Structure 1
Amino acid sequence: MSDAHNEHESAIKTPKQLIAAVAAGFLVPIICIVLLVEYVTNAQKTGAGSESQTAEMITARIKPVADDGFTFRDSTAPKQLLSGEEVYKSTCAACHGAGVAGAPKVGDEASWKARIGEGYDKLVSHAINGLRAMPAKGGNPDLDDIEIARTVVYMANQSGAKFKEPEVKAAAPAAAAAPAAAPAAEEKK
């Protein structure tokens, strides 16, 4: 048999070299891991999630979803009437801006001529009660009749009419009568 098989020599010849090799076997991977962790954690973070623990981001996450896009109104407060243009933009423009389902386009004098010829009262009645494809009050039951009348005037005047905008009547005649009755009651005493 050949002695070449038993000629295997190790690079470690002394116990000191063995201790150094074992120490290097443990320390080199640990040092590599520590350096890698330092490299990853010290990088400037940008993008999604980098500011997730700021006070503003926490507040944005825990605020109620229902607060987005809604404003709370005091139901006991007097109603603020909208102008004809505001009602047109919020309710009527969807159909009367594009002529959807046969609705006359605002500004198209030809399509409004016959309607304007029927008169202001008839136009307001149709707007309040609905006509053919148009629902009553344009589908917004929260609108007052005066707001509908203002909107009819706005739309008709944009389309060639010369209607006068209706005036708002006194809010509560009974409320005005109550203070007048109080001095009369005091005079009787």
Structure 2
Amino acid sequence: MSDAHNEQQSAIKTPKQLLAAVAGFFLVTVIGIILLVQFVTTQKLTGAGSDSQSPEAIAERLSPVANEGFTFKDASGPKVLQSGEAVYTATCVACHGAGVAGAPKFGDAGSWSARLAQGYDTVLKHAIEGLRAMPAKGGNPDLDDVEVARAVVYIANASGGKFKEPEVPAPAAAAEGASAPAAEPAK
């Protein structure tokens, strides 16, 4: 074996150096903790000109989707009937605007002539109950029969028909039934 000794020498040779090393270690540790706490507690940095982290922007992103552009209808109140043009624009234009699935195009007198010859009542019945690829009420079950009738008149008259605007039933009969007092309970 070898007589050579492998001595490891420390960089700290005196107690003064040891004290300086320990103090330096604690100083670096404390500064690191302070910087970490400061980083965590300060506001987040955003890009220049960005207000995406402002309280208003955050509240807007977290607001319910239903608050944007939707209105709630009073189900117990009287229904406001739409015009024929409004019903056509909201429901019928999807198929009758482009002639999808054999639907006669809006304003095309040639494709509507055979249907208009059947008469108003038949065309209205087909619109309310559905016919071939067209679902009942154009796929909008919320439509009232009067609204469907208005849409039929609007579409037919734009395509050469001479149908008369339907009369709206008096809402008084419905209101009387709704406002009638409840029956007395049996004693």
User: Residues of 1 paired with 2:149 and 2:60: CA distance?
Assistant: 46
Kept in 2, the 8 Å contact 1:51–1:57? The answer is no
Aligned to 1:45, what secondary structure does the other structure show? coil
Q: How many angstroms does 1:93 deviate by?
A: 2.2
TM norm structure 1: 0.66
Q: Cα distance, 1:138 vs. partner?
A: 2.1
Give % identity.
58
Distance across 2 between alignment mates of 1:23 and 1:154: 90
**CA separation in 1, counterparts of 2:32 and 2:163?**
85
Task: Tell me the amino acid that sits aligned with residue 153 of structure 1.
Answer: V
Between the two proteins, the alignment pairs up a number of residues equal to 169
Q: Structure 2: which amino acid aligns with 1:90?
A: A
In the alignment, which residue of structure 2 is the partner of 1:180? none
| Residues 1-150 of structure 1 mapped to structure 2, 5 A cutoff | 10-39=10-39, 41-42=41-42, 44-46=44-46, 50=53, 56=59, 60=63, 69=70, 71-75=72-76, 77-150=77-150
Q: How far apart in 2 are the matches of 1:151 and 1:168?
A: 13
Runs of 4+ aligned structure 1 residues displaced above 4 Å come to 8-11, 49-55, 65-70, 173-176
Q: 1:157 deviation in Å? A: 2.3
User: Shift of residue 24 of structure 1?
Assistant: 0.8
What whole-Å deviation, never above 9, does each CA across 1:83-137 have from its counterpart, x for those lacking one? Answer: 1122222322222223222111212232112222333233222212322222332
Q: Deviation at 1:19?
A: 0.4
Partner of 2:182: none
Report the CA distance between 1:152 and its aligned residue.
Answer: 0.4
Q: Which residue of 1 aligns with 2:184?
A: none
Question: 1:53 and 1:103, CA in 2 relative to 1: closer, same or farther beyond 3 A?
Answer: closer
Aligned to 1:183: none
- Note the 1:176-187 alignment, pairs <5 A: none
Q: Are the aligned partners of 1:129 and 1:137 in contact in 2 as well (CA < 8 Å)? A: yes
SS in 2 for 1:154: helix
Q: Which moved more, 1:65-74 or 1:114-123?
A: 65-74
Q: Is the 8 A contact 1:52 1:58 kept in 2?
A: no
Deviations 1:33-81 (A, max 9, x none): 433553465364349x946899936973xx6x88785724232x22211
- Helix, strand or coil: the match of 1:86? helix
Deviations 1:2-23 (A, max 9, x none): 69x66x7654443222201111
Is this contact kept in 2: 1:156–1:163, CA < 8 A?
Answer: yes
Partner of 2:154 in structure 1? 154
Structure 1 residues not aligned, in runs of 5+? 177-189
TM-score normalised per structure 2: 0.67
Matches within 5 A, 1:164-179: 164-172=164-172
- CA separation of 1:78 and 1:67: change in aligned 2, threshold 3 A: same
Report the more deviating stretch, 83-92 or 9-18: 9-18
